[in-house]
Amino acid sequence: MQFKGMAFVASVLVLGACGGEKKAETPPPATPAPAEAAPAAGAAAAGTAMPITGKTIEVKMVGDAKGYRFEPANITAKAGDGIKFIVESMGPHNVAFAVTMVPADSKAQLDANFGTDRMGELSSGLKMNTGDAFTLSLGGLKAGKYEFNCTPHLAMNMKGTLTITP
């Protein structure tokens, strides 16, 4: 009987927290936004995806009897190029960069370049079906090595390395 009483009290608290009417709040008076400095040439404002200005490299996301992998797994590209990741077989697949391995001064731009196709920080949404694709811009990124993986198949060693050259 004591358990039922505790369950009843917990239910009342939950329902009480959910109920009630929220009164409309008066918005604060509008103030003009401060002028922002223009971004440096070749760089986007924080949170703005950069366009692809070079070539687009195709990378297959594969799962078969040989295992799970990116083909090719090692990619060399220039800043401004794009990479189109295409599900070849055995989805779901995605593209995720190791947050701790991305240079700090490129992290915000790389994250912005995912655009609206994001599942989380530095990670694309899941692609379920053969032929589904995701294209990532390398615009505004610094030269260096960027390690990536497929989150659902990371334990099966589905990894790759992107080398961006100047």
Structure letter (DSSP) for residue 95:
-
Range of the domain at 80: 59-165
**Of 135, 139, 166, 146, residue with least CA distance to 59:** 135
Give the span between the Cα atoms of 116 and 133, in whole angstroms.
Answer: 13
pLDDT at 94 over 60: yes
pLDDT at 11 over 50: no
pLDDT-derived band of residue 129, with 50, 70 and 90 as boundaries? very high
Look at the chain and report how many structural domains it folds into: 1
Ramachandran region, residue 147 (left: φ > 0; alpha: ψ -120 to 50; beta: rest): beta
pLDDT tens track for 35-63: 433 343 344 445 799 999 999 999 999 99
pLDDT at 166: 87
Q: What are 146's two structure tokens?
A: 């960027």
Is the residue at 44 inside a domain? no
pLDDT at 38: 37
Whether residue 120 contacts residue 130, with contact meaning beta carbons closer than 8 Å, is answered with no
Is the residue at 54 inside a domain? no
Bridge partners (DSSP) listed for residue 4:
none
Give the span between the Cα atoms of 164 and 53, in whole angstroms.
Answer: 14
Whether residue 143 contacts residue 86, with contact meaning beta carbons closer than 8 Å, is answered with no
pLDDT at 61: 98
Whether residue 130 contacts residue 63, with contact meaning beta carbons closer than 8 Å, is answered with no
Within 10 angstroms of residue 48's Cβ, the number of other Cβ atoms is 15
Mean pLDDT, the chain, whole residue set: 82
Give the domain CATH number at 93.
Answer: 2.60.40.420
Is the residue at 70 inside a domain? yes
